Amino acid sequence: MTTACEKCGETFASRNALFRHLRHDDACRMIGEDASTSSARASTREGVHKTSVGRVFDGLGLSENVDVARDGNAARASVTRVSSRKRECDMTKDEVRALNERRRARAAKRKHERQNGEARTERDVDPASELWIGGLRGRAGTMKGLRDTMWRAMPAKSSIPQPGIKHLKRRGYRREKEWIGYGFVTCRCPAEANALREAMDGKSVQGPDGIVSVLRVLPAARKRVVASEGEPVPRRILAAGEHPDARQIFMAWTARDLEIRAKTRGLDHNALVKDAKTFASPYVSLRGVAVDAEATRRLRDELLRTKWPTQTQRRSVKSDGYLVLKRETSPRDPYAALKAACEALMMKADPSFPYDSLAITKNFISSAHVDRDDKSFQYAMSFGDFTGGGELCVESRDGATRWMIDTRERLAKFDGRSVHWVRGYDGDRFSVVWYVNREANFTAQRFDVDATFVDEPTPKSSSRCVVQ
C-alpha cells in the first residue's frame, strides 16, 4: 500500500518514507506544517487531546495517533509499548503480578548469565553454507519481508528449511537512483546453499507492497569478524557427573512454589534459604521404561541423520542444536521424517498422550529450570555415546527428594513444571521431549516424577545416595 504526497504527487512505499520526504523537502514541509496546525485547531474545537509526539499530517494520509519519530523502528517501538500497556490494563491484578514476576525472573537470569559467563555463543558455520542475497526492493529489504521473499522464491516441493538471516542492509547500494538492499543468510550445509542459489538466483518475486524484486544470489564472500581484544568469556559448563549448585536449583523455583514449601515446612523465607544451602537432598536413582526396540532404533537413526539449523531456536539455552517442532506436518516440512519417528515411538508408549510440541536437542547444556509454558506432564528420552552422566534430574516441589533418571534409549515420565536439569556428561547426547502447550489439554500437576512409569533399577543404583 503506497502513500502519495499531496504537494508534489510523488509516491512512497511506506509512511516513514513519506515523512522523511516531508522533513527534507522545504516546499512540501510547509504543507505538512499547515495540515498539522489545522488538525490541532480542529481537535481543540472538538475537545479531543492528541498525544502524538511531533506533527500530525492528517491531510497527507498519516495516522493521527502514530508518534512521529526519526525512523520506523522508533515508531514501531512506540506502538508496541502502547499495545503492551493496553493489554496490561485488561489484566487482573493477579495476572499483572504474574507478568511482572516473569519479567523479573528473565532479567535476573540474564544478569546471572552475564556474571557467570554463560552468554550464548553462535556455533561455527562453514563459510560455504552462507549466501549473499541482493536485489531487495521496498519491503523485501526488511527482516519480515526477506523471510517472505525467500519463502516465495524457494522451490515449491523442496524440503529445505528457510535459511537463517545473519545480516541485513536495507540501503545497501544504489541502482538507477534507487536504493537496493542485500542480506547474508546461512543454510545448514553447503549442498543446501548450492541448491537454493540455483533455484533463487534471477527469480522475480513480488513483495507485499507490490514491488517486484529480481533476486541476485551469490556465495557469501564477507570476512568473518573475530574479536581482537581480550580473551573470550569462558562458558560455565558442568563437568561430567556434576550437578548445579544448591543455590541455582533453589533460585529456579517460582516464588509461589517457594512460598508453599516454606508454609508446608513451617519456615520463614530466610530460614528456607539457609536450609536450602545446608540440606542435601537424597538422589533416588531410577531407569526409564524401555519402549519398542524398532521404534527406538528408528528414532535414533533419524536423530543421527538430522541436519541441524545454524541458529538454535532457543537463544537462551546452550546447545549445538535445539529444535522446537509442532506435531503437525506439512508437505514441505524438512523434519517430517523425524516427527514421524517421534510419533511412532509415542504411539507405542502412550497413544492417548495429547502432546502438541517436540523439543529436540543435540548436546544440550542444561541449567536447573522450570518449563513455565507447559500445560501437563511430559515424556523424555536421550540417545548418544555420552559418558560420566547425562541423566535427567528432577527435584520434588517440597525440596525433600531429587530423582536421577537414566533415559538413554529409555522413556521417562515427569512434570516439567518442577525444577529439572541434565547432569554433566562427556560426549554427544541427543534428547527428545514430548510436551503439551495447548491450554485445552491442561492437567493439574499430580507428580514430579511418575514413579509407576519406571523400570527396575540396576543393582548398582538401587539404593539411595546423597550427593553433596
> What pLDDT does residue 84 have?
57
CATH number of 246-466: 2.60.120
Q: Which of 173-182, 265-274, 402-411 has the lowest mean pLDDT?
A: 265-274
Average pLDDT over residues 276-297: 87
Question: Looking at the predicted structure, is the pLDDT value of residue 222 above 60?
Answer: no
CA distance 247 to 231: 28
Q: Ranked by mean pLDDT, which of 54-68, 225-239, 317-331, 404-418 comes out on top?
A: 404-418
> What pLDDT does residue 12 have?
81
- Reported as a single tens digit per residue, the pLDDT across 21-38 is 887 776 676 555 555 544
Give yes or no for a contact between 185 and 163, defined as CB atoms under 8 angstroms apart.
yes
> What pLDDT does residue 157 have?
76
CA distance 183 to 226: 20
Q: In terms of DSSP bridges, do strands 392-395 and 321-326 run parallel, antiparallel, or are they unpaired?
A: unpaired
- On the question of a common fold for 127-219 and 246-466, the answer reads no
Average pLDDT over residues 261-276: 82
If pLDDT is split at 50, 70 and 90, which confidence band does 352 have? Answer: very high
| Side-chain-facing half-sphere of 452: CA atoms under 13 Å | 2
If pLDDT is split at 50, 70 and 90, which confidence band does 312 have? Answer: low
Q: Which comes out higher in pLDDT, residue 378 or 70?
A: 378
At 312, list the grid cell.
538454535
Question: Looking at the predicted structure, is the pLDDT value of residue 86 above 70?
Answer: no
Q: Which of 39-53, 225-239, 341-355, 425-439 has the lowest mean pLDDT?
A: 39-53
Question: Looking at the predicted structure, is the pLDDT value of residue 341 above 90?
Answer: yes
CA distance 114 to 283: 30
Residues with Cβ within 8 Å of residue 204, at least 6 apart in sequence: 212, 213, 214, 215
Question: Looking at the predicted structure, is the pLDDT value of residue 455 above 90?
Answer: no
Question: How far is C-alpha 12 from the geometric centre of its chain's CA atoms?
Answer: 34
CA distance 409 to 383: 6
CA distance 275 to 273: 5
- Reported as a single tens digit per residue, the pLDDT across 177-203 is 888 999 999 998 888 888 899 889 889
Average pLDDT over residues 54-82: 43
The structure's pTM equals 0.56
> What pLDDT does residue 61 have?
39
CA distance 292 to 348: 7
Q: Ranked by mean pLDDT, which of 104-118, 279-293, 355-369, 403-417 comes out on top?
A: 403-417
Q: Which of 6-20, 78-92, 377-391, 433-447 has the lowest mean pLDDT?
A: 78-92
Give yes or no for a contact between 405 and 286, defined as CB atoms under 8 angstroms apart.
yes
CA distance 39 to 139: 30
If pLDDT is split at 50, 70 and 90, which confidence band does 117 have? Answer: low
CATH 3.40.50.1780 fits 127-219, yes or no: no
Question: Looking at the predicted structure, is the pLDDT value of residue 55 above 50?
Answer: no
CA distances, 65 to each of 23, 48, 69, 78, 389 (Å): 19, 12, 12, 11, 58
> What pLDDT does residue 232 have?
43
Instruction: Name the one residue in this structure whose C-alpha cell is 560455504.
Output: 128
> What pLDDT does residue 34 have?
53
If pLDDT is split at 50, 70 and 90, which confidence band does 328 have? Answer: very high
Give yes or no for a contact between 388 and 240, defined as CB atoms under 8 angstroms apart.
yes
Report which of 64, 365, 111, 63 is spatially closest to residue 244, judged by C-alpha positions.
365
| Domain regions of the chain by residue span | 3-74, 92-120, 127-219, 246-466
CA distance 454 to 289: 5
Residues with Cβ within 8 Å of residue 379, at least 6 apart in sequence: 346, 349, 350, 353, 355, 411, 412, 413, 433, 434, 435
Q: In terms of DSSP bridges, do strands 402-406 and 282-287 run parallel, antiparallel, or are they unpaired?
A: parallel
Q: Ranked by mean pLDDT, which of 188-197, 313-322, 340-349 comes out on top?
A: 340-349
| Mean of per-residue pLDDT scores for the chain | 79
Give yes or no for a contact between 418 and 370, defined as CB atoms under 8 angstroms apart.
yes
Average pLDDT over residues 375-382: 96
Q: Ranked by mean pLDDT, which of 16-20, 362-366, 430-434 comes out on top?
A: 430-434
If pLDDT is split at 50, 70 and 90, which confidence band does 221 have? Answer: low
